[in-house]
Amino acid sequence: MRRTRTAVGAASAAAVVLGLAACSGGARADDATLVVTDTLSDTSAPIYQEVYDACAAEVGMQVQANHVAGSGLIATVLQQASSDTLPDVLMLDNPDVQQIASSGALSPLTDHGITGEGFPQGVVDAGTYDGDLYGVAPVVNTIGLFYDVDALAEAGIEPPTTWDELRAAAEALTTGDRYGIAFSAANTFEGTWQFLPYLWSNGADEDDLTSPEAVEALTFVEGLVADGFASSSVVNWSQNDVNDQFIAGNAAMMVNGPWNMPALEAAEGLDYAAVPLPVPQAGDTLQAPLGGEAFTVPRTQNPDKMAKAGEFVACVTRGEHQLAMATGRGAVPSDTEVAAEAAAANPVVATFVDTVQTARSRTALLGPDWPKAATQIYTAQQLALTGSEPPAAALERAAEN
């Protein structure tokens, strides 16, 4: 769940969205041009444009890319579907694939020869609705535990692997001007995303948020704040804010994703590393959420262009292009073999490659109903971490809504 699209200002993004209905509809573009709608930032767009150009040439087409803000994409897509102005290729955040597929706006990728073979099951699950594959993400991400190598060395602490070790490390690393750990518990889906590894790895599920396992997970996270090992401001921090706090030296560890690596590399004097998030007990399996944007082929009234769009998506998601996109964006190639190649080249990437293998699609259990559960989760976390309700009561109250 990458939320770093800051380069495109709100005004310009809105202008692009408003212009989509007029300029990006697959039925309205000329027959030699594939229209791609994605949610790329100004930083990532050039990386993908090289891939788009190569794949368009391969399938004998031109390509026109429209970059829109992710926050406004779903409403725009549903509007385009009703007016038959969908683009030829559509990038969707993977939790949104099922919602759009359920509307009938997408065509199954198997119609275009794309089966998901070679991809981790979580990637396939994230792009599947009602038994059909509708989206494939060429690169994915998840979250892990970044740490300041010098800070842990000075404290004589090894990177934690269990909740007890994480709590002890956070306590030992907390000083007068530094918290032991930083994370996002914001009242957005980012806050939910960061809590999911604690929830899932402890055996809880989003369809039963009042279970003892869910209460135990929230109690653990709440304790990090209540005992002063994490700032009470985590309830307001986005993941970008968390990264800023870590770079500034205000936290010795942080929960975050690989997309921060370019900024971390650029931080002067920072020696950092990353490990998988700790699990409740030694031997438990880490279950983290799977992030990443999937490419889909919308249904249009032009079957010839839909066929070309399918060829284009097959090309964009191919292994050689996955590596280029992952390296440029700070992500993990989706194909298992390509991911292993990336891991061999970078030990930080290797951490996330390992986690992705068991990462879980947020829509795997509840499908299109996931947003309601996600809202309940961040609401409960806000209630507990602000001290408004004890963890058990916070989960019960959130689950009622």
Specify the higher pLDDT residue, 178 or 328.
178
Q: What percent of the chain has pLDDT over 70?
A: 93
pLDDT given at position 102:
92
Question: 287 vs 56, 276, 330, CA distance in Å?
Answer: 37, 10, 21
**Residue pLDDT, tens place only, 213-248:** 999 999 999 999 999 999 999 999 999 999 999 999
pLDDT given at position 84:
87
**Residue pLDDT, tens place only, 77-129:** 888 888 889 999 999 999 899 989 999 999 999 999 999 988 888 899 999 99
For residue 24, name the pLDDT band (cuts at 50, 70, 90).
very low
Whether residue 379 is predicted with pLDDT greater than 80 in this model: the reply is: yes
Beta-sheet pairing, 89-93 with 132-133: unpaired
Q: Which residue has the tokens 């609401």?
A: 379
Count of C-beta atoms within a 10 Å radius of residue 319 = 16
pLDDT given at position 29:
73
For residue 16, name the pLDDT band (cuts at 50, 70, 90).
very low
pLDDT given at position 28:
60
Q: Rounded to an integer, what distance in angstroms lies between the CA atom of residue 30 and that of residue 32?
A: 6
User: Mean pLDDT across the stretch 347-352?
Assistant: 93
Average pLDDT over the chain, rounded to an integer: 91
User: Mean pLDDT across the stretch 349-356?
Assistant: 93
Count of C-beta atoms within a 10 Å radius of residue 265 = 11
Joined tokens for residue 15: 């202008």
- Which residue, 294, 338, 298, 300, is CA-closest to 316? 294
Beta-sheet pairing, 332-333 with 139-140: antiparallel
144-288+366-400 and 33-136+290-358 share a CATH fold: yes
Count of C-beta atoms within a 10 Å radius of residue 370 = 21
pLDDT given at position 76:
86
pLDDT given at position 42:
87
Q: Which of 1-5, 196-200, 315-319 has the lowest mean pLDDT?
A: 1-5
Residue ranges per structural domain of the chain = 33-136+290-358, 144-288+366-400
Number of H helices, E strands in the chain: 17, 12
pLDDT given at position 241:
97
In this structure, CATH architecture of domain 33-136+290-358: 3-Layer(aba) Sandwich (3.40)
Q: Rounded to an integer, what distance in angstroms lies between the CA atom of residue 129 and that of residue 283?
A: 32
pLDDT given at position 26:
40
The CATH homologous superfamily to which domain 144-288+366-400 belongs is: Periplasmic binding protein-like II (3.40.190.10)
Whether residue 43 is predicted with pLDDT greater than 90 in this model: the reply is: no
What stretches of 203-346 show up as alpha helix (H) in DSSP? 212-226, 239-247, 261-266, 303-316, 319-329, 336-345
For residue 69, name the pLDDT band (cuts at 50, 70, 90).
confident
